[in-house]
Amino acid sequence: MIRWGAMSGTPHGLARGLTNYGDADFSLYLRRSFAKSMGYSKEMLARPVVGIAQSASGFNNCHRHFPELLDAVKRGVLAAGGLPIDFPTISLGEVFLSPTSMMFRNLMAIDVEEMIRAQPMDAVVLLGGCDKTVPAQLMGAASADVPAIQLLAGPMLPMSFHGERLGACTDCRRFWAKYRAGGINATEIEEIEGNLATTAGTCAVMGTASTMAAIAEALGMALPGTAAIPAVHADRLRAAEATGKRAVALAAEDLRPSRIITERSVENALRVLLAIGGSTNAILHLTAVAGRAGVDISLARLNELSDATPVLVDLKPTGQHYMSDLNAAGGLGAILRELKPMLHLDCVTVTGETLGQRLDAEPGWVDRDVVRPLGDPYQKVGGLAALFGTLAPSGAIIKRSAADPALFEREGRAVVFTSLEDLATRIDTPDLDVTGDDFLVLQNAGPKSGYAMPEAGYLPIPAKLARSGVKDMVRMSDARMSGTAYGTIVLHISPEAAVGGPLALVRNGDRIKLSVSQRRLDLLVDDAELGRRRAAWKPPVTPPRRGYGKLYMDHVLQAEHGCDFDFLRKA
Ligand code: FES
């Protein structure tokens, strides 16, 4: 039986948001008539409508099982007395988009928001998974503020190959680095290429997609225990059915994202991000999602939380295991139970219960090989740290859990690349003036660079150094880095070079000081010289004059604001 609770008296189901013909009765009559052309009965059309925003696409390998998940969601909605109606949105297949999926995250968020608002639905299921799709859906749903619940794609399974398990995409990078260093040949790398990503689902490690799945569950926007279930596991289909069922109840309770995504649940999500050694991209995405709910995330607060939140899981790229191992080890619930003393337990989730009620009711199984107790963590402090200084007045990020602590307190000589093309042209040239003690600096790869902040922050070790055995060195940029990558890499330097930030003023041979313990990143060049360089600086790109490219360049914000558009954040 459906209770309409807070919604009684307001139009629901197909009667919501009528098309405007100047006669509401005619609008509803016409809508029902056209809906009946799809074969629905009168009884079905009287049910509450659950929209299913689905992002399957031939250009998205991670979502290739969505037709099956969609069927299971519909089954759940029908069983609970609702009418499921799916609708397509933009899909963002990470490796199929140019210049980068990041450029289109906000476009997808607009699509999701506007289609939720424009179409008659009492609740919505958000069916997403690949890196940018989950934040885009959460951003759109938070702005539309219709009852919403997320169903995640689930991770790929790693597969055995020549005696070891391989999974996208930390192993992709590991073997590519080996190939670049001459450790394996062209035939071998081609064979590996066919064995890195072999099932449906998102990247198998704690990359951006897995981190965002954990964040969706920690925020309370996905059902408990669903973040880590492998894409091809039968439990994923059961989670889909349960999500559909719950969506009908969400509609009846009018439980909206604005009650779930709050300052306190965002802080819970930040704790989880730090405890899982999650992707640096996730701080951008969580900032953008929180911004849609009117919640600001300060990088100074990130540092406070990071210093008090240990890394509890041992997943690649920082550890040994894969997401499917985390699922078998107890899933996100096992991590949340360890973090319980640090969490805001009064936060409401999509179940209608609080986080505290969830954790009290959960069984206690945990595999300590994968999830450590709070008192005996893998690392005593959180995975991410924000840096500030003369090179990054508005901040920068380092994933210290994936970096070499021996490189944390250093002064080095800058070896500067002024663009991605410059990097590609010169990084492997034999006469590049570089040693393993230098700092590689990439400019003009931020949000307004024309490349839309690509995952280029994982600058390759110059070939001549890689061949001589150098495995890590300090690298820095205004770019992002894939969540599956690792190394002593400073990212998201803000303001970026393309808007004239101090990063734009760095020249070959400058001294730069990095101190992770002091949270500092400083350019050791005097003000007079910087003033001369600033006076000679010119913007590196001509902004596009039309289309989405213009909208993006006119409105995208810097990294500390999550790269959302200025007009989409909640005032
Ligand atoms: Fe989709 Fe990695 S490519 S999650």
- Tell me the DSSP string of 440-501: EEE-S-STTSSS-S-S--SPPPPHHHHHTT-----EEESS---TT--SSEEEEEES-GGGT-
Superfamily of domain 47-157+199-361: Probable inorganic polyphosphate/atp-NAD kinase; domain 1 (3.40.50.10330)
Q: Do strands 489-494 and 392-399 pair parallel, antiparallel, or not at all (unpaired)?
A: antiparallel
Q: Enumerate the domain spans of the chain.
A: 47-157+199-361, 159-193, 384-544
Q: Give domain 384-544's CATH architecture.
A: 3-Layer(bba) Sandwich (3.50)
Q: Which mutation among 65, 171, 202, 211 tests ligand 1's pocket best, with the greatest number of atoms within 8 A of CB?
A: 202
What's the gap in Å between 458 CA and the centre of ligand 1?
17
Asked if residue 253 has its Cβ within 6 Å of ligand 1, the reply is: no
DSSP string, 531-547: HHHHHH---S-PPPSSH
CA distance 512 to 195: 41
Does residue 133 contact residue 92 with C-beta atoms inside 8 Å? yes
pLDDT over threshold 70, residue 5: no
Task: Specify the pLDDT at position 318.
Answer: 83
pTM exceeds 0.85 for this model: yes
Tell me whether the CATH fold assigned to 47-157+199-361 matches the one assigned to 384-544: no
Task: Specify the pLDDT at position 129.
Answer: 98
Task: Specify the pLDDT at position 4.
Answer: 39
How large a percentage of the chain has pLDDT more than 90? 92
Both tokens assigned to 88: 């397509």
pLDDT over threshold 90, residue 300: yes
CA distance 484 to 147: 32
Q: How far is CA 362 from the centre of its chain?
A: 27
pLDDT digits (tens, 9 = 90+) for 435-478: 999 999 999 999 999 999 999 999 999 999 999 999 999 999 99
Does residue 222 contact residue 216 with C-beta atoms inside 8 Å? yes
Residue from 287, 296, 216 nearest 257 by CA: 216
pLDDT digits (tens, 9 = 90+) for 261-282: 999 999 999 999 999 999 999 9
What phi and psi, each to the nearest 5 degrees, are found at residue 146?
Answer: -100, 145
Task: Specify the pLDDT at position 107.
Answer: 98
Average pLDDT, whole number, for the chain?
A: 95
pLDDT over threshold 70, residue 3: no
Does residue 155 contact residue 148 with C-beta atoms inside 8 Å? no
Task: Specify the pLDDT at position 402.
Answer: 87
What's the gap in Å between 203 CA and the centre of ligand 1?
5
pLDDT over threshold 60, residue 148: yes
Task: Specify the pLDDT at position 1.
Answer: 40
Q: Which mutation among 60, 64, 94, 285 tests ligand 1's pocket best, with the greatest number of atoms within 8 A of CB?
A: 94
Asked if residue 525 has its Cβ within 6 Å of ligand 1, the reply is: no
pLDDT digits (tens, 9 = 90+) for 153-203: 999 999 998 998 999 888 888 899 889 889 999 999 999 999 999 999 999
Task: Specify the pLDDT at position 571.
Answer: 83
pLDDT digits (tens, 9 = 90+) for 516-525: 999 999 999 9
Residue from 262, 286, 278 nearest 318 by CA: 278
Give the mean pLDDT of 92-96. Answer: 96
